Amino acid sequence: MIRNNLDEIMWRRKISVKDLSERTGLTSARISNIKNHPTTNITTDTVAKLCKALGIAIQDLLIFDDSEENSESKIELAHLAGF
């Protein structure tokens, strides 16, 4: 699963949603949604705007985390098996 790291980046840099909204041109609501829901889908345009505004690389914003995916798969398999 790919998730974003926006909440931590904003916290470490002490950047508010309003400030990032002004820097990116994205609405505050969109930034809040991305920040609060790390597995939400983000367009490549939005990723580019966030990375440019924050001065970071894509790999700093997006993280591949297969542990959650494996847990969900195991739960699904257990459900299908009748457990």
Q: What is the dihedral of CA 57, 59, 61, 63, to 10 degrees?
A: 180
Q: pLDDT digit of tens for each residue in the chain (83 aa)?
A: 899 999 999 999 999 999 999 999 999 999 999 999 999 899 999 999 999 999 999 999 999 988 755 444 444 555 555 54
Which pLDDT score is estimated for 83?
47
pTM (predicted TM-score)? 0.77
Q: Which domains does the chain have, with CATH numbers?
A: 2-80 (1.10.260.40)
Which pLDDT score is estimated for 66?
81
Given the structure tokens 């809040």, which residue do they identify? 32
